[in-house]
Amino acid sequence: MSAIRLIDLTLGYDRHPAVHHLSGEIAAGSLTAIVGPNGAGKSTLLKGIAGALSPLDGDIALARGRRLAYLPQQAELDRSFPIHVYDLVAMGLWNCAGIFGRIGGGAAATIEAAIAAVGLAGFERRPIGALSGGQMQRALFARLLLQDADIILLDEPFTAIDARTTADLLALVQRWHGESRTVVAVLHDIETVRRAFPQTLLLARESVAWGATADVLTPANLLKARRMVEAFDSHAAPCERDAA
């Protein structure tokens, strides 16, 4: 069963495609890495799946009733806002608490458990402005934990993060995979992908290869992806390919 189905999908900005005629399925419970050069449309694809960007053409079909969580590459997070780590993480409970729902005793234990699970125990009362980059990412993962989503989208979650934090957060990703959640992550470190991600989509605006990681990440495919022209052609004619 597929969790996410892409149907001849074109996403882009100002009519210029960043993801061009992409079709395929991400199976429920799969752990997929999206790799590709800069400007290949990886973040754009995640934004599209998360619903933050509407398709120029084609469609994205999500499995019904699935909860989706999305960690963008650069969260629009205002780190100068006077709020504690605990409250930031507690936002993950929005789906069950909403505007008025009480965040009571049981929830408090859940929040503390999530903070402990990402290795931030003792940081509950720190203002978010005092966190390092890695600690911030841990806090955002704790919030993801509480969101309890079926589909989790991570955009470059380990960029500018040290090895130990990466290992800890990667363990959480594996745990989600073990719980049959669907995880899709944009990554740059090919070694991490080979080691931890069974499925890979190699993207260069269009799909270069998509499938089992070992079959996708071949030298020939990587070379092909690298040849992609990054800049938009400002004189490009309208695309003639039919949308399905």
Partner 1 sequence: MCAGASWTILRDAASRLLRMWAEKAEKKKPMLYDLFIGPFAEFDFMRRALVGVVALSVSGGAIGVFLMLRRMSLTGDAMAHAILPGAAIGYLVAGFSLPAMTLGGLAAGFAVALAAGAVARVTVIKEDASLAAFYLISLALGVTIVSLRGSAVDLFHVLFGNVLALDDDVLILLSGVATLSLMTLAALYRPLVMECVDPGFLRSVSRSGGLVHLTFLGLVVLNLVAGFHALGTLLAVGLMMLPAAAARFWTADITRLILLASGFGMVAGYAGLVLSYSAGSNLPAGPAIILAAGALYLGSLLLGTQGGLARRLLPRRHLRA
User: Which residues of the chain form contacts with partner 1 (CB under 8 A)?
Assistant: 50-52, 68-70, 72, 75-78, 81-83, 87-88, 91, 94-95, 97-100, 127-128, 143, 147
Cβ-based nearer residue to partner 1, 57 or 155: 155
Residue pair 142/123 in contact (Cβ under 8 Å)? The answer is: no
Residue pair 147/173 in contact (Cβ under 8 Å)? The answer is: no
Closest approach of partner 1 to the CB of residue 135, in Å? 16
Closest approach of partner 1 to the CB of residue 18, in Å? 19
Q: What is the DSSP letter of 121?
A: T
Question: How far apart are the C-alpha atoms of 51 and 56, rounded to whole Å?
Answer: 13
CA distances from 27 to 9, 171, 198 (A): 17, 21, 12
Cβ-based nearer residue to partner 1, 82 or 238: 82
Q: Of 32, 33, 12, which is closest to residue 21 (Cα–Cα)?
A: 12
Cβ-based nearer residue to partner 1, 21 or 143: 143
Question: How far apart are the C-alpha atoms of 136 and 141, rounded to whole Å?
Answer: 9
Closest approach of partner 1 to the CB of residue 83, in Å? 6
Question: How far apart are the C-alpha atoms of 198 and 99, rounded to whole Å?
Answer: 39
Closest approach of partner 1 to the CB of residue 185, in Å? 16
Alpha carbon dihedral 114, 115, 119, 120, in 10-degree steps, equals 180
Cβ-based nearer residue to partner 1, 28 or 75: 75
Helices vs. strands in the chain: H and E counts, helices first? 9, 9
Cβ-based nearer residue to partner 1, 73 or 221: 73
Closest approach of partner 1 to the CB of residue 210, in Å? 25
Q: Is the dihedral of CA 167, 139, 63, 176 positive or negative?
A: positive
Closest approach of partner 1 to the CB of residue 79, in Å? 9
Cβ-based nearer residue to partner 1, 17 or 48: 48
